[in-house]
Amino acid sequence: MFTDDAVTQWYMVFLSALSMGLALLTLGLVHRWGQRVPHRVPRIGGRRIPARPVVRVALIGGWSLVAICVYFLLNQRFHLVQSVWVGIGDDEPVHPAPGWEVFRYYAPMLAWGPLVIAVAADYRRRAAIVRRLEKP
């Protein structure tokens, strides 16, 4: 059946695909194709995508990213939750916990949440303008 390694590998593939898919959906907030279903899609092609649910989902995602980053920073500073090594198996070597030098690799993530929130607000503004122009 599945070994621990196989489950771990599929989990990592799933997380990578999910994060890539969400990042690509974020591009729909800034491109024109994010406001209308492409014409090549059968039956619903050419329809306008309702802005309200798109903006809600984007704002939930952006604020979730902000909350995760704030939690990470507060936990690093005040040790709200003690992190311990969780190894798999008895022979798994114990690695030291990463310190602040690793922070530079995660620093761009700090900007991702506020940027998604800003882009969602701009998407709402542009969708309102398009909706006003389409009404007779």
Please, which pLDDT band fits residue 1 given cuts at 50, 70 and 90?
very low
3-state helix, strand, coil in the chain (%, to 5): 65, 0, 30
Of the candidates 103, 122, 17, the residue with the CA atom closest to the CA atom of residue 62 = 122
Per-residue CA distances from 14 to 19, 129, 134 (Å): 9, 37, 40
How long is the chain? 136
Q: What is the model's pTM?
A: 0.75
Q: What is the pLDDT of residues 24-79, one digit of tens each?
A: 888 989 888 888 888 898 999 989 899 999 999 999 999 999 999 899 889 888 88
Q: Which two tokens stand for residue 102?
A: 């690793």
